């Protein structure tokens, strides 16, 4: 079972006063939960090979985080490592594979939070950092601030020595075609094909998943390490055809991302405007902290009652320092996976899976 640092320090003081020498903190069991976005994901409209590709990607990211935790690494390191893998994977709407803004650019948002210290770092509208989650971590660890946006965040990224890429690195044909379709539907002007993008294919590209799902694919990870510390991280390209410097919930601490060893760690995905208004991630943790709600009940209450009442759509993943793991979503599907120490890897997409 997990144990807070304060609990251990208290125990150490009692042991010292009894003349018993303090030993290593009792090890807790690690756990990790991740998501790759929620949306209209239905078995009937998903090709078997697409489904298999998503399941394999989710598993690969989960395993990267689990290996770190199993070696006694920190929940923060596990979260960052798993998110980085999904940021590089064009299947997800984070890093490479992100959706486009209405004017044909890619603006990335990410946040990370350390439940042991309540330290947090977040970035929005960054354009050149290969791994926005690592930039969020650099904001947390190497700057006096919590939240950096736009050109300032891009400049900090360079100064902090993070890997820079040309914006065309993030380009995928599938997201571009999806943007054009949506802009036509909304009667908005079609921007020029981005500089550095590969030439337009002669044949139309195959749809790899249902049209509506293109708007989703944000990634998030929550983890508990052997020291009993929890962390959360989220990374996204935001919502397709976003305009005017729009920022969603993902990088907003308390909305799309939150972690506190006093309660839980949460990462959200869905239409961010609703998650910001409900401060979803913090709301889940407040129910756990102040109402002593079991984690599953808390996530279900926020998603199926509060979010649904506002007609918001999406889901969350969560973990507590005592090893409870949960997910909840009100969409037909959410890409997700989890594993507890000694347990089996669970991967799910649709809402009829456990
Ligand atoms: N929550 C993200 C946003 O609103 C999008 C998503 O999770 O699909 O930016």
Region of 187 on the Ramachandran plot (φ > 0 left; ψ -120 to 50 alpha; else beta): left
Q: What is the pLDDT of residues 65-78, one digit of tens each?
A: 999 999 999 999 99
* Site to substitute for ligand 1 among 272, 276, 278, 303, most atoms within 8 A of C-beta: 272
> How do residues 322-332 score in pLDDT, each as one tens digit?
999 999 999 99
Which of 126, 132, 84 lies closest to 247 in space, CA to CA? 126
CA-proximal residue: ligand 1, atom 9 (nearest): 238
Kindly report the number of other CB atoms within 10 A of residue 140's CB atom.
Answer: 20
Q: How remote is the CA of residue 71 from the centroid of ligand 1, in Å?
A: 32
Each residue of 151-162: pLDDT tens digit? 999 999 999 999
Catalytic residue among 218, 234, 269, 331: 218
What phi, psi does 184 have (nearest 5°)? -60, -45
Tokens, residue 58: 């989710």
Q: Measure 161 CA to ligand 1 centroid, in angstroms.
A: 27
Q: What is the mean pLDDT of residues 219-243?
A: 97
Mutate to test the pocket of ligand 1, among 269, 276, 277, 329 (most ligand atoms within 8 A of CB): 269
What is the C-alpha to C-alpha distance for residues 251 and 147, in angstroms, rounded to an integer?
8
pLDDT score for 200: 87
Q: What pLDDT score was predicted for residue 176?
A: 94
User: Above 80 in pLDDT, residue 172?
Assistant: yes
Q: What is the share, in percent, of the chain residues with pLDDT greater than 70?
A: 89
**Nearest alpha carbon to residue 122 among 145, 142, 106:** 145
Confidence tier at 4 by pLDDT (50, 70, 90):
very low
Model-wide pTM > 0.75: yes
Whether residue 23 is predicted with pLDDT greater than 90 in this model: the reply is no
Residue 13 CA, ligand 1 centroid: distance in Å: 45
Domain locations in the chain? 31-170+207-350
Q: Which atom of ligand 1 is nearest to the CA of 275?
A: 1
Pick the CATH number of 31-170+207-350 from 3.40.50.2300, 3.60.20.30, 3.10.129.10, 3.40.50.300: 3.60.20.30
Known catalytic membership, residue 6: no
Contacts for 235 with CB less than 8 Å, ≥ 6 apart: 83, 86, 87, 94, 95, 108, 109, 110, 132, 133, 136, 218, 219, 220, 250
Least confident of 191-200, 264-273, 303-312: 191-200
Measured in Å, residue 281 CA sits from the centre of ligand 1 at: 13
Cα atoms in the Cβ-side hemisphere of radius 13 Å centred on 70: 11
The residue contributing the CA closest to ligand 1 atom 7 is: 269
pLDDT at 312 over 80: yes
How far is ligand 1, taken at its centre, from the CA of residue 199, in Å?
A: 29
Q: Hey, CA dihedral for 279, 299, 310, 178, is it positive or negative?
A: positive
Q: Ligand 1: which of 213, 250, 268, 315 to mutate, most ligand atoms within 8 Å of CB?
A: 250
């Amino acid at each position: 079972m997990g144990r807070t640092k304060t609990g251990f320090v208290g125990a150490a003081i009692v042991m010292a006063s009894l003349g018993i020498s303090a030993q290593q903190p009792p090890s807790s069991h690690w756990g990790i939960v991740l998501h790759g976005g929620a949306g209209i994901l239905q078995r009937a409209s998903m090709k078997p090979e697409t489904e298999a590709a998503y399941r394999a990607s989710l598993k690969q990211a989960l395993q990267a985080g689990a290996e770190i935790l199993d070696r006694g690494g920190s929940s923060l390191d596990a979260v960052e490592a798993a998110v980085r893998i999904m940021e590089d994977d064009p299947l997800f709407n984070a890093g490479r594979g992100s959706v486009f803004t209405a004017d044909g650019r890619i603006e990335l948002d990410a946040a990370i939070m350390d439940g042991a210290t309540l330290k947090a770092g977040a970035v929005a509208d960054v354009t050149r950092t290969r791994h926005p989650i690592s930039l969020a971590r650099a904001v947390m660890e190497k700057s006096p601030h919590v939240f950096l946006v736009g050109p300032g965040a891009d400049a900090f990224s360079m100064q902090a020595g993070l890997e820079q890429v040309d914006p065309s690195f993030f380009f995928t044909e599938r997201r571009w075609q999806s943007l054009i379709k949506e802009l036509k539907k909304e009667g908005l002007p079609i921007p020029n094909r981005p500089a550095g993008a590969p030439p337009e294919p002669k044949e139309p590209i195959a749809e790899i998943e249902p049209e509506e799902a293109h708007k989703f694919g944000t990634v998030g990870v929550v983890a508990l390490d052997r020291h009993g510390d929890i962390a959360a991280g989220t990374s996204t390209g935001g919502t397709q055809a976003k305009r005017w410097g729009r920022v969603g919930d993902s990088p907003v601490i308390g909305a799309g991302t939150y972690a506190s060893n006093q309660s839980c760690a949460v990462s959200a995905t869905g239409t961010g405007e609703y998650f910001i208004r409900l401060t979803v991630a913090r709301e889940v943790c407040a129910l756990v902290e102040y109402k002593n709600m079991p984690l599953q009940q808390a996530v279900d209450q926020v998603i199926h009652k509060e979010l649904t009442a506002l007609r918001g759509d999406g889901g969350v993943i969560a973990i507590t320092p005592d090893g409870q793991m949960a997910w909840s979503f009100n969409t037909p599907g959410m890409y997700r996976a989890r594993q507890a120490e000694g347990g089996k890897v669970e991967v799910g997409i649709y809402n009829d899976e456990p």
